[in-house]
Amino acid sequence: MTLAAVTRPRWNAPSGSYYDGKLGIWPFIVQESAVRSSPRRPAGTLITKEGRVNKWTYRKMLIQHLLPAVRERWPSVCNGEVVRVQQDNTPAYISPMDTQIVAAAAELGLSIELCCQPPNSLDLNCLDLDLFSAIQAHQRLRTPLSIEELVEAVKAAYWELPPSTINAAFLSLQGSMDLCILDGGGNAFKPPHIGKAKLQRES
């Protein structure tokens, strides 16, 4: 399990550079001592295992990794811009009024608002629309033989994503939001085909 965060790529006028939209991807893993020996390592060797994802580990991930990444990478965030972080509706999600998140954001000088993805609405999450499948396609080009290698393969696949792929996901998200509004807030619609490649060529 990983926490991935993106925003729409954009031109950053103050720095005169293009922001690729990537904030980071972080695995939920733990290291424990091996109880038994194996042909690959003796007992007592530190091994990597999948970690638990609950409210406490999720909150820790947001505070230790996501918020500093927003502070470091998000253009104009230091100018008082409000950053809205959409999280999915898994049981581990954090309340938008979580006091620890609010305090951690304030300590970094950030104005953060947590919000939740509408229930039963995968089409309103850009990661579910295109990006997870794109990351997985890149990751499958490698042949990891351990959890450590798998983690590194997923990280590499994330950072190799071209900004155009992330932008296309946000275009799909915009189309889905339009159809959701037309459906009165429902989800009885198919993801739109809006010719994203053509739009990007013409922009």
pLDDT in tens, 23-38: 999 999 888 877 777 7
- pLDDT of 79 reads 67
Cα(169)–Cα(77) distance, rounded to whole angstroms?
A: 22
Within this chain, do residues 33 and 107 fall inside the same structural domain, yes or no?
Answer: yes
Within this chain, do residues 93 and 163 fall inside the same structural domain, yes or no?
Answer: no
Q: And the tokens for 103?
A: 């305090």
Beta pairing, strands 22-27 & 2-6: antiparallel
Within this chain, do residues 30 and 52 fall inside the same structural domain, yes or no?
Answer: yes
Question: Are the C-beta atoms of 151 and 48 separated by less than 8 Å?
Answer: yes
30 backbone dihedrals φ, ψ, rounded to 5°: -135, 155
Whole-model pTM: value is 0.83
Within this chain, do residues 98 and 179 fall inside the same structural domain, yes or no?
Answer: no
Give ∠ CA 94-66-174 in degrees, rounded to 5: 80
173: pLDDT strictly greater than 70: yes
Within this chain, do residues 141 and 64 fall inside the same structural domain, yes or no?
Answer: no
Q: What is the pLDDT of residues 114-165, one digit of tens each?
A: 888 877 777 788 888 888 888 888 888 888 888 888 999 999 999 999 998 9
Q: Name the residue range of residue 147's domain.
A: 122-203
How many separate domains does the chain show?
A: 2
Q: Where are the beta strands (DSSP E) in 34-89?
A: 46-50, 82-87
Within this chain, do residues 111 and 150 fall inside the same structural domain, yes or no?
Answer: no
Residue 85 three-state SS:
strand
Within this chain, do residues 92 and 141 fall inside the same structural domain, yes or no?
Answer: no
Looking at the chain, the whole-number percentage of residues with pLDDT higher than 90 is: 22
